[in-house]
Structure 1
Amino acid sequence: MWLLSYATRLTGDRYLAEDVVQETWLRAWRHADRLTNGKGSVRGWLLRIAQNVAIDIHRGRRARPTEVGFDGEALANTAVQSAPSDEVENRMVVGELLDHLSPVHRSAVVEVYFTDRTAASVLGVPVGTVKSRLHNALRTLRDQFPSPLPEAA
């Protein structure tokens, strides 16, 4: 823990400090034969290795172009907008697929997947009937078209 604290003070960045500590332990492990009882303390030796690693990282960053920051969480929360032409194409494809279903199956699919209403109450049928219609509709579409379709809910 003390080594991580020292590396954090050296780098000013907790994540970079973790990299420094990891590299410090690797270098110490590879060169354990250099440490003898008569040549200083283990703590001082590890601190010097950590300082050398931090210097190496700093010099390496100065020699290379500046890295671009990446905020993965912000990117993950950013909505991706599709082009209007993609939406038109999707509607056309879905419309053509729905044309291959019977009216009762089509209405079940539309109510469950495309509206925010409860399908059973809108269609006036029991929930089991809606599930059965969805199952049969998706099976029909899978049999006619080999592309992957969503599973029934």
Structure 2
Amino acid sequence: MERDQDPGDPADTGDEAVRRLYEDHHGPLLRYVSGLLRGDRQRAEDFVQETLVRAWLSASDQPPGWSPPRAWLFRVAHNLVIDWARREQSHPELHQEHVLETHSDPVDPMSQAVHRRFIVHALSRLSRPHREVLFYVYVLGCSGPDAADALGIPPGTVKSRTHHALRELRRRHPQPELAAA
């Protein structure tokens, strides 16, 4: 692993920054989250990936050359696990349905990676409040009131931010097949 670049170097952006973030923190985060989840490796991978995406997205709000401290990453991962556990406790029937689901379609990791990269890129161009509300509503699956509680804002603000964020995403990334309809 080559580390000749200064962390504040503007050339160290984009793919290189994401790669370094992953290489530096994936292993320790995975061990930590796996311990919190009592060895559920697949779910731990999901939480680690989400933690690293949040770190990457928050870098745009930080001074140049900022790199998230590991303690910050652990706290983000911990909070994600706690939020998930609370949702599972309040909706145990949803967990049972998820356990019974089967995934008959083969998973294409390359397609998933391309899709995730597109989504991360699109979301990174939104304001932080719009990214946050879309994350809570669509990624975590929170209801409007739950997202409002988690973000500390009124439910009406969640609705408004969701509406404006989706409108901005559609404006910046039009779907050709939808435009023709």
TM range (shorter): 0.3 to 0.5
TM-score (normalised: structure 1): 0.43
The structure with more radius of gyration = 1
